[in-house]
Structure 1
Amino acid sequence: MTRLPLAAPIHPIRMLDANATETGGDAAPFGNLPEWDLSDLYTSADAPELKRDLDWLETACRSFAEDFEGKLGTLDAPAFLDCVKRNERISAVAGRIMSFAGLRYYQLSTEGERVKFLSDMQDRITTFTTPLVFFTLEINRLPEDYLDKLFSQDAELARYKPVFDRIRAMKDYQLSDELEKFLHDLGVVGDAWEKLFDETIAGLSFTVMGEELNIEGTLTLLTDHERPKREAAARELARVLAANLRTFARVHNTTAKEKEVIDRWRGMPTAQTARHLSNHVEPEVVEALRNAVVAAYPRLSHRYYELKRKWLGLDKMQVWDRNAPLPTEAPKTVGWDEAKETVLTAYAGFSPRMAEIAQPFFDKGWIDAGVKPGKAPGAFAHPTVTDVHPYVMLNYLGKPRDVMTLAHELGHGVHQVLAAGQGEMLASTPLTLAETASVFGEMLTFRAMLSKAETKEQKKTLLAGKVEDMINTVVRQIAFYDFECKLHEARRGGELTPDDINAIWMSVQGESLGPAFEFMEGYETYWAYIPHFVHSPFYVYAYAFGDGLVNALYAVYEDQPEGFQDKYFEMLKAGGSKHHKALLEPFGLDASDPAFWDKGLSMIEGFIDELEAMED
């Protein structure tokens, strides 16, 4: 039951369309980009407070096992509450240590000392917490009526019932105590494959038109105004990925096989089951989402990209045209201060409280924004622990889409701040709801920018950009989900060659992107750089879930604005303490209704309708 944040953020790295040259914290022309101040966790890797917490953690885990192992079924309500609170305190201290180690690592993932420090902390905390494995196993052996009786006797203890419900959802898939301890200890080996992936990605070098770039710089060129530059970046990305494809294939083969072995021993019916359980979402809800999106491909991505093909004056679009600017869109660099003002103003337009919660991220060193050699690519928000605060990582390079990424990650941050009051065990939100505040933050920022558009072309540019972002969030992520489903199923039949994985990747691309595209040789390798497939298998459907949910929420906000803000903040404050049905009920929404997803998708269709109308 102990929640141990790993090196990977709770919300895995979100790959950006980022750009240009590598910069430090003082990055002209973007302004003075902020860097993390991690001293709210620990002042340094050799801080005496860190040693103190490690010593405390070792003792606390040992004494917890001595006091409670084999005795959970004999405790009265006050003693059981004491047990829960002690476990929660262990989670908080372990989470603080791992957050510090992980955030330092992601700042500079190629530096040997930081890599070693992270590995050492993972090893020590895994060893310390091995005696705690009994806790969830023993909980699942307790009679249901025994737990219900304890909850009925103590209101404070009853608050933790959702945690126990999630634990007991794993009851049918639990192994013996010895095997569970073995898998706990073996976890650091699986983490090593994730680190190999991260370090390989961070160490890649690309040369585009004579300029040496990291992966962020190369990906951002796919959004450049100059088509030859986009093509050169796309082909260089394919060349470098192909040169490293055996490594990426080995990582995927190993992590997928490890998952298959564990799932088989646990009796999981599908490779996706564990994700659905951890998300506290029914498989049929995810299947309804997936089917609704796939059925909508022709109405969404196919229709939009056909429009864009005409705008670009092309017979066929190539992969380097997918996120290209419109011909009428003027090149624009957005400075950091302008990005900050844009997002905070949009947040304040929804509620001053939302902007107030976001402001300290800028003022107190809670954001690391610059692109630097060795820094992990992408963006994330990491909640650390509930008695500190979240941290946001960006790779900011002044693109308009970087502003939306800032809005997205700050949405996570606001959510994490509000949920912190639930405590360590209840603050963490299931992934299906974790993307709600982030996507809502993007929607608020987009709507604020759209309201200021002065010309038809400005409105068209903003609408097209939003549609592309929504397609990337919904269509692309469901295509990614299908890729993972096929990958894990195929791996059950044996080792996959790089060509096998390439073929699986291409099997979902044409279907999702549509007939406007043809695919260059080399595009089949692009699966290799997506971190979610390695760090958090099947995470990606959470993005589509969040977008559909937010579209439905925003429709309620537009129809019934009175009192919406209060209900919205209450939903975020709930963290992981409520099921999605209970959270959405005040808004009159139900994600288990298949028609729910069509409501969300209809907003994207509406934007495309507007764009088509502009052609008349």
Structure 2
Amino acid sequence: MSEQAKYALTWDLDSILPNPETDEFRSIIEELRSDTDKFAQRTDDLPAINGESENVASWKDILDVQQDLGSRFTEVGAFVSCHAAADAQNKTYLRYEAEISAMFPPLSQGATNVEFAVKEASSDELEALISADETLTRIRFHFEELSLNAALRLPKEQEMLAAELDVDGLHAWGRLYDRLSGELRVSIMEKGEIVEKSPGQVDFESPERTVRENNYYATNKAWEGIAETCADAINHISGTRLTKYRRLGCQDHLDVPLRFNRMSRETLNAMWSTIQDRKPMLLKYLQKKAELLGIEKLSWFDFPAPLPSASSGGGKKLTYDDACDRVIKTFHGFSPELGEFAQTAVDDRWIEVENREGKRQGGFCTDLPISKQSRIFMTFTDSIDSMSTLAHELGHAYHSFVLRDQPRLLQDYPMNLAETASTFAEAVLADEQLAAAESDAEKVTLLEKMLGDAVSFLMNIHCRFIFEDNFHRERAAGEVSAERLSELMASAQQEAYLNAIDEDGTNPLFWVSKLHFYISGWPFYNFPYTFGYLLSLGTYALAQDMGDDFPSKYRDLLIATGCMDTETAVQSTLGYDLTTPDFWNKSLDVVSDRVDQFLGLA
């Protein structure tokens, strides 16, 4: 009989809300629906924005209701998503997911009405309202965000019409891509038979180069079959955006994604230019990897390949109990609060890790703002990689934890800051793993994973940004053909990878296979990843310099992500100006050190 496990493998959902299959939960949903509809109707006729006491009281109440509804929606939605992830075939949970999603538009409409009211007010009127009450003063940043966001909206009636048209226009093209890519099947030879697989099931990490190459070409043949339709989709998604940007008087296609990420063009330019200056260090790693694989230059399908000399570290068996203890101990060594938080999450069963049938794929961390807790979903596979995933998701949960007592309207943070805590937590654990590695082969395996991540964030994401930037410039003059899109992609890859890819080894169809180009609600779904990666690396580098003073600074940074723009958040807590190269070089020094370690061991 096996030894009793120290930590539970399944989470506790019963303490949050009644089970979705009960009448009590049905009542909660109906009450939320009714309150949301009332809020939307109330915001159709909003009070004037000024310092008059009656209007101040009305606005306080409206924003209190908005925050309460936002918290309830998040709590209920997260609760149902947890149930659906843990029991993927349960039709009740699936129906509730769809129902809650369909209930959201009235809340969104109410928030839009509030935003337009702020847009129509003068700066003096808005200041009078904010200054009249301390609770409104506390959420001043929210009002500032509303004003900045409203500047990127058309007049109200036009905006409403555009939103309705987008359902069957902009977003329909995104849904078409989702359907086409979801139905796509790749014909692969396995054990003498042709089998049909989805692209996500194809093995691109085989140690056998011929297998990787054949799988790559087979997959691209399948993508090629839908390339013309995807060209239509990507042209119409970007064309719709460009038309709106032109009406808004935007400088160019980067204004909106920069606003979404609360960051300046100067910061974006400083980040990419510093990366470009420092990127040659990665060529040494890529050249060494090619040498170890026995080839002169890497092709696209070689980047995920495992190294022949470093195959042991990632395969070590590790129990969930041991993984939890290692993560908690590592976190505690950095920050007692972070370590105690991780211990609480494990002890109080915030985490679902059981390896069983019937669960959804992947992993996530979801926030429960009313309960002031989080829940983490993953499948633990007794591996080092699973431990890294656990640390990553606990980092997300800690981010929510430090924001828990902030007003709800100051708990949201943009995409570029969303991965800060999670990637930082992974970095803390990765360095501990490296220090504890028992052999050079294990160290090489760990360093290879770290440098593979660096290539992804500094080269792969960069090629996506270069492609999308150049594509938007050409799209402004007219539709771009599938053939031209492939040319733009191959060129972007060689530019981003500093010609490290074999001349015949680029992936021109990457624009077809990469979902992120077709996410209709979020343009340039790329540079925020690189930003978040470097912010967490730089933050980790500063932790080594600051010692005992750092945990409180780090906590302040996470709180600032919800109530400051990106540049102010970093400047006020870490003391760095993101529009200059200094911070980015600090981050890239970490990558450079890892390259040197890898070259010394490989």
1:357 corresponds, among 330, 335, 341, to 341
- 1:428 and 2:404 aligned: no
C-alpha contact 2:47 2:55 (8 A) present in aligned 1: no
Query: Partner residue of 1:551?
Result: 537
Partner residue, 1:139: 118
Q: Is 2:589 aligned against 1:602? A: yes
Q: What TM-score results when the alignment is normalised by the length of structure 2?
A: 0.84
Residue of 397, 403, 409 corresponding to 1:419: 403
Asked if the contact 1:319/1:520 (under 8 Å) is kept, the reply is no
Aligned to 2:4: none
For residues 52-72 of structure 1, the C-alpha deviation after alignment (integer angstroms, 9 at most, x for no partner) is 211221122213434x25566
- SS of corresponding position for 1:84: helix
- Closer, same or farther: CA 242–38 of 1 in aligned 2, 3 Å: farther
User: Residue 551 of structure 2 is aligned with which of 562, 565, 571?
Assistant: 565
Distance 1:257 1:367 in 2: 42
Amino acid in the other structure paired with 2:592: E
- CA shift at 1:128, angstroms? 5.9
Task: Give me the whole-angstrom Cα distance separating, in 1, the residues matched to 2:137 and 2:359.
Answer: 46
- 1:307 is matched with 288
Equivalent residue for 1:460, pick from 422, 444, 450: 444
Corresponding position of 2:141 = 162
1:161-560 to 2 correspondences below 5 Å: 161-186=140-165, 188-189=167-168, 190-206=170-186, 208-210=188-190, 213-218=197-202, 221-300=203-282, 302-331=283-312, 332=315, 334=317, 337=320, 339-358=323-342, 364=349, 366-367=351-352, 380-383=364-367, 385=369, 387=371, 389-392=373-376, 394=378, 400-518=384-502, 523-535=507-519, 536-560=522-546
Cα distance in 2 for partners of 1:188, 1:145 equals 37
> 2:328·2:342 contact (CA, 8 Å) conserved in 1?
yes
Partner of residue 590, structure 1: 577
CA distance in 1, matches of 2:126, 2:422: 36
Distance 1:494 1:249, change over 3 A: same
Q: Is the 8 A contact 2:238 2:475 kept in 1?
A: yes
Distance 2:11 2:198 in 1: 19
Q: 1:580 to 1:522 in 2, by over 3 A?
A: closer
Q: How far apart are the structure 1 equivalents of 2:488 and 2:85?
A: 30
Instruction: Tell me which moved more, 308-317 or 489-498.
Output: 489-498
1:101-140 equivalent positions in 2, closer than 5 A: 121-127=100-106, 129-130=108-109, 132-140=111-119
CA distance in 2, matches of 1:499, 1:116: 42
Shift of 1:309: 1.0
Amino acid at match of 1:82: D
Check conservation: 2:49, 2:129, Cα contact below 8 A. Answer: no
User: Alignment partner of 2:548: what SS?
Assistant: coil
Normalization by structure 1: what TM-score? 0.82
Greater mean alpha carbon deviation, residues 358-367 or residues 49-58 = 358-367
Structure 1 residues not aligned, in runs of 5+: 1-30
Mapped contact 1:343–1:407 kept (Cα < 8 A):
yes
Give the 3 Å change call, closer, same or farther, for CA 38–215 of structure 1 in structure 2.
Answer: farther
Distance (whole Å) between structure 2 residues aligned to residue 383 and residue 247 of structure 1: 38
Unaligned runs of 5+ in 2: 1-6
Distance 1:550 1:533 in 2: 25
1:220-240, CA deviations, whole angstroms, 9 ceiling, x for partnerless residues? x32333333333432333233
Task: Decide whether aligned partners of structure 1 residues 289 and 396 sit closer, same or farther in structure 2, where only a CA change above 3 A counts.
Answer: farther
Tell me, in whole angstroms, the C-alpha distance in 1 between the residues paired with 2:90 and 2:225: 23
Q: 1:572 to 1:603 in 2, by over 3 A?
A: same
Shift of 1:310: 1.4
Picking from 35, 44, 54, the partner of 1:56 is: 35
Q: Which residue of 2 aligns with 1:150?
A: 129
State the alpha-carbon separation in 2 of the partners of residues 353 and 82 from structure 1.
35
Counterpart contact for 2:285–2:595, Cα < 8 Å: yes
How many residue pairs get aligned? The number is: 580
Larger RCO (alpha carbons 8 Å, 6+ apart): 1
The answer for the alignment partner of 1:577 in structure 2 is 563
Structure 1 residues 493 and 597, CA gap change in structure 2 (3 angstroms) = same
Letter in 2 for 1:91: G
The 3 A distance-change label for structure 1 pair 544 and 382 is same
Q: 1:212 to 1:448 in 2, by over 3 A?
A: farther
**Take 1:39 and 1:505, find their aligned partners in 2: how far apart are those partners?**
50
Show CA shifts across 1:195-253 (max 9, x none).
444454444444544365544432xx323333333334323332332233344334323
Contact 1:436 1:547 in 2 (8 A): yes
Partner of 1:611: 598
Find the residue that maps to 1:173 and give its secondary structure: coil
Tell me if structure 2 keeps the 8 A contact 1:207–1:236: yes
Give distance in 1, aligned partners of 2:528 and 2:455: 14
1:11 alignment partner in structure 2: none
Comparing 413-422 with 554-563, which one deviates more in the overlay? 413-422
8 Å Cα contact 1:235-1:522 kept in structure 2: no
**Structure of greater Rg:** 2
Q: Report if aligned partners of 1:312, 1:326 keep a CA contact under 8 Å in 2.
A: yes
With over 3 angstroms needed to count, the CA separation of the structure-2 counterparts of 1:323 and 1:129, relative to structure 1, is: closer
Secondary structure at the counterpart of residue 314 of structure 1: coil
Identity of aligned residues (%): 22
Q: Distance in 2 between matches of 1:105 and 1:235?
A: 36
Write the mapping of 1:63-102 to structure 2, written as runs, cut at 5 A: 63-66=42-45, 68-70=46-48, 76-96=55-75, 99=78
